[in-house]
Structure 1
């Protein structure tokens, strides 16, 4: 008798299978206005199942310009016309926090945001998708899933004083790397799990995206039952299930950590960065904006003052959390200490709202990403840390250990050699014989391919508008020189970061024939297929290519030639081949339905 992992049970298929399923919830946020246009391009008029949809306005809430305000109104009108009942207007909160009102054990949840995986805290299979796929779900109600391999992480013991779930998340990311769980399902096991609250589990599940994972999940245990106030019947892995990798962590060994610029897996202990001067701090976001997080910060800041010249921003994750924090006196304590309280939105995290740092600023944030330019200014540096570390650092104006007894100091034991953030110079001329060679660039993220602060200024349904911004700030020559038929070669973990589909849309619109990479981030892989952009994952092909080589590709035959060398392209399932041959999901859906 075979023993199954959690994800094999939910999808009821063996690892490696491709299955089509109908999700219980389809989440969208500000990108709903773009999804609406794509839905209409698919021939959609009436959403097939309005009860499946959860729509939250949060990324630019409240809107920061007239265009965004108009987009918000378009979404309000849409939910009325389509009869979508699960709608949360600006100010209600961040979509992943709102999801806690709707997620249930054993559900399949998808969302057009990479941090949809946060709902794994509720024993749900929760995964990110892109906007085009969301539009397809509006029309068809189902989508495809590849059943991933699973990683088992066993937690033992309890976190020590001054160490939090954010530190544990960073420990794991630093240990396995930002691509260490690429396209995999992470299961959390062990007696240490019962010592983690739902809020802490949400932090851990949220940051699964920064490990490259498809999802992360916790068991349907007594902690979850206490959250719901009733018995729950969830799904969990069988004893003896087979895992791709297994890790065991003694929580008592952990110390406070940060992710240093400009990669989330550039993890260091506080001991290694203590004293780094800071200008700004952020407590909030979908990762650490819950009531527990605000309590921790308020306890540290109560009766004290943030350092002179330091700007501390606080963004509660939802209106309910904001109100509870007011009732408990948390907001008063934070404000008296010098913090500025923002609305419940995502804005500061990705640089679309208040809190954009100045040139030369060093920021410490409880958010989930610290890519170059992530908060809206590529001339700033971002450290990621727990709410306690941010609060303590706000008092001193430098990175500070939150423990009362910080005598236990270690260097982070899993330090990896970090690639410097590469900025391509025009004189490098990365293009030869129609091939763009970025094979030496690992972790090329979607912020580098298309700036995050443009995400809602230029819709993904506007490929011509995307084109001029492709790779700006990474390789400024690309957008002006890319031609139809070009091929792009990339390194490890290509397309990591946000579920933003703009890069795939722009590359397909430019006529790029194929993208060939050593490894790829899961959501970018899906976005490429959805745009009809052929993506080939082959270390052998990338490793064999040398600048000025002649590279040819025959998709029908499934072959790549580099000079005299011949390489077979790994075959895709039939339906995915149909999508690529149709030049994207929009065309495929329009023809099959």
Structure 2
């Protein structure tokens, strides 16, 4: 990544490259393949949030804490489909690695991307590869929202189960017994993160029957960590060091917690079942907090003090929705999830199945579709069905399996209050219409007849009608072709 680049990748955390003054956003696999074929893609121009940072983080407080502070302040959908810009003198105090953590977690705020300036810090980090052709906001730019943060006021934080915006001060959960710890992932598996953890673990031993997993973010980082003696420190402390991968973060391979386990992790998500077991509980924190807590066998303050911090923001936090197996949500041709917000991709299709079932095999996706919150869905969904859902539908990963499954099942449309950005794109790519009409969702009562007239842009709910704006021509072309693959084939003919 270099300043001024436009970057897309088939992972929701592609936005990490925003640390390099690049416009970087996640897409799904189908769209990535289509981009290779066509050499172009589409973007909806986002509104922007300006976050101005002042001062400097205190000792024992890290970029992960700052990220969680912002998420806890605005919520997991608080920057929905927006672009986040980081400004202020506080930016100059952040290393590129710290900026990567902040840019990475933009995805957990619902943002399209986050971007940092092309400044001297970045120039020093990139060296000869630095390009002066960066892009930055005009001085008179307007913003949908502006936030100011004094870095010196922050303290260590965790995201408690089962949502990343369930943010608390470490002191609020201090003493919580732990069974497992994870340092790594694309959020905090860089060399700087491993150094922080190693500095804590050096010369010490983990408690008996405690599992700690270290996953460097790349092979290059792994090799450098070996040269610096970090891997030796981890092994001597009793930790397990794995090859660079996404494994433990999404619940595959080593590190799947047992029932009832409490895990503290440097990862980016803690949805129920995220690490492979719905009966475990995951806390998210900085590498230093994770390492100190691992040694103690319970959550502790990395500053070595007994504080009485309280996270100052109260928002309507995301809730994990689970529908009882005896609760039939299909009435007529409508699946009633109008009361369900924040239905995430892990609930729609478990993360640990991502590399066991290919997204190109819809018939194999079907038995697992929506199993994380409605066990009756996959066996009873029929072609022509309509889903009515709440807000932040499809939040989480860029995993395209749910959209593939819904399209394969013949779902006519999803009508919801709001939708996660990447899930929306995945649905477009599979020819599955997502209609954002909050009034229609609020109007729906179980048993109401629901119909969608795409030609005239009208949704009928019972006796009421609601209009929706027509889609851009290219998107309509993809829908009419029943998906991006067919659309590309038709254009090639």
Smaller-chain TM-score bracket = over 0.9
2:152 pairs with one of 252, 261, 286: 252
Q: Structure 2: how far apart are the matches of 1:445 and 1:203?
A: 22
Contact 1:446 1:495 in 2 (8 A): yes
Deviation at 1:426, TM superposition (A): 2.5
Q: Does 1:229 align with 2:127?
A: yes
Query: For residues 292 and 452 of structure 2, what CA distance do their matches in structure 1 show?
Result: 56
Give 1:437's match in structure 2, choosing from 330, 336, 340: 336
> What is the aligned partner in structure 2 of residue 56 from structure 1?
none
Distance 1:419 1:125, change over 3 A: closer
Report deviation, 1:232: 3.1
What do the CA deviations read for 1:191-241 (whole angstroms, capped 9, x no partner)? 000100010001000000000000001000000000111453111111110
CA offsets, 1:512-567, max 9 Å, x none?
Answer: 00000100000011111111111100111111111111111111121111122111
The SS at the match of 1:436 is: strand
State how far apart, in whole Å, the 2-side matches of 1:569 and 1:531 are.
20
User: Residue in 1 aligned with 2:24?
Assistant: 126
Which one of 20, 34, 41 corresponds to residue 136 of structure 1? Answer: 34
Q: Give the total of aligned pairs.
A: 490
The 2-side partners of 1:542 and 1:142 are apart by: 34
Aligned to 2:180: 280
1:379 maps to which residue?
279
SS in 2 for 1:162: coil
- Mapped to 1, the partners of 2:239 and 2:160 lie a distance apart of 23
**Alpha-carbon distance in 2 for matches of 1:420, 1:405:** 32
Aligned ranges 1:388-427 → 2 under 5 Å: 388-407=288-307, 409-427=308-326
1:541 aligns with 2:440: yes
Q: Deviations over 1:394-427 (max 9, x none)?
A: 11100010003444x3211113343542211132
Aligned equivalents of 1:144 and 1:270: distance in 2?
42
Q: Which stretch of structure 1 is more off in the superposition, 518-527 or 306-315? A: 306-315
- Is 1:370 aligned to residue 270 of structure 2? yes
Partners of 2:76 and 2:318 within 8 A in 1: no
Contact 1:267 1:415 in 2 (8 A): no
Matches of 1:405 and 1:504 in 2, distance apart? Answer: 47
**Mapped partners of 2:325, 2:24: distance in 1:** 41
Aligned counterpart for 1:163 among listed residues 51, 56, 61:
61
Q: Residue 360 of structure 1: CA displacement?
A: 1.3
Q: Does 1:186 align with 2:84?
A: yes
What is the TM-score of this pair, normalised by structure 1? Answer: 0.81
2:48 maps to 150
C-alpha distance in 1, partners of 2:441/2:385?
15
What CA distance in whole angstroms lies between the structure 2 residues aligned with 1:463 and 1:268? 40
Structure 1 residue runs without a partner (length 5+): 1-102
**What's the secondary structure of 1:428's corresponding residue?**
coil
Secondary structure at 1:426 match in 2: coil
Asked whether the equivalents of residues 300 and 391 of structure 1 are also in contact (C-alpha less than 8 Å), the reply is yes
Report deviation, 1:378. 1.0
Q: What SS does structure 2 have at the residue aligned with 1:183?
A: coil
Please give the per-residue CA displacement for 1:361-387, whole angstroms capped at 9, x wherever unaligned.
Answer: 110000001011111111111000000
Structure 2 match to 1:497? 396
2:402 matches 1:473: no
**CA deviation string 1:307-341 (max 9, x = no partner):** 22211111111222222222222222222111111
Which residue does the alignment assign to 1:46? none
Write the distance in 1 (CA, Å) between the matches of 2:312 and 2:12. 28
Question: CA separation in 1, counterparts of 2:86 and 2:73?
Answer: 16
Local SS of the residue matching 2:114: strand
CA shift, 1:587, in A, is 1.1
Partner residue, 1:337: 237
- Correspondence for 2:214: 314
What do you get for the CA RMSD once the two structures are aligned? Answer: 1.1
Aligned mates of 2:202, 2:316 — CA distance in 1: 39
Which of the residues 106, 110, 132 maps onto 1:212? 110
- Within the alignment, does 1:202 sit opposite 2:100 as a pair? yes
The two structures have a TM-score, normalised by structure 2, of: 0.98
Determine the C-alpha separation between the residues in 1 that align with 2:335 and 2:76. Answer: 24
Alignment of 1:526 onto 2:425? yes
Q: Is the 8 A contact 1:438 1:490 kept in 2?
A: yes
- Aligned partners of 1:481, 1:344: CA distance in 2, in Å? 40
CA change 1:324–1:419 in 2 (3 A) is closer
Paired position in structure 2 for 1:15: none
Deviation at 1:298, TM superposition (A): 1.1
Which residue in 1 is equivalent to 2:460? 561
User: Could you tell me which residue of structure 2 aligns to residue 243 of structure 1?
Assistant: 143
Q: What secondary structure, in the 3-state scheme, does the structure 2 residue paired with 1:313 have?
A: strand
- Partner residue of 2:384 out of 482, 485, 499: 485
Equivalent residue of 2:326, what SS?
helix
Residue of structure 2 equivalent to 1:66 = none
Distance 1:568 1:426 in 2: 34
Write the deviation string for residues 461-503 of structure 1: whole angstroms up to 9, x where unpaired: 1111111111113100000110111000111110000000111
**CA–CA distance in structure 2, aligned partners of residues 183 and 419 of structure 1:** 17
Matched, 1:348 2:248: yes
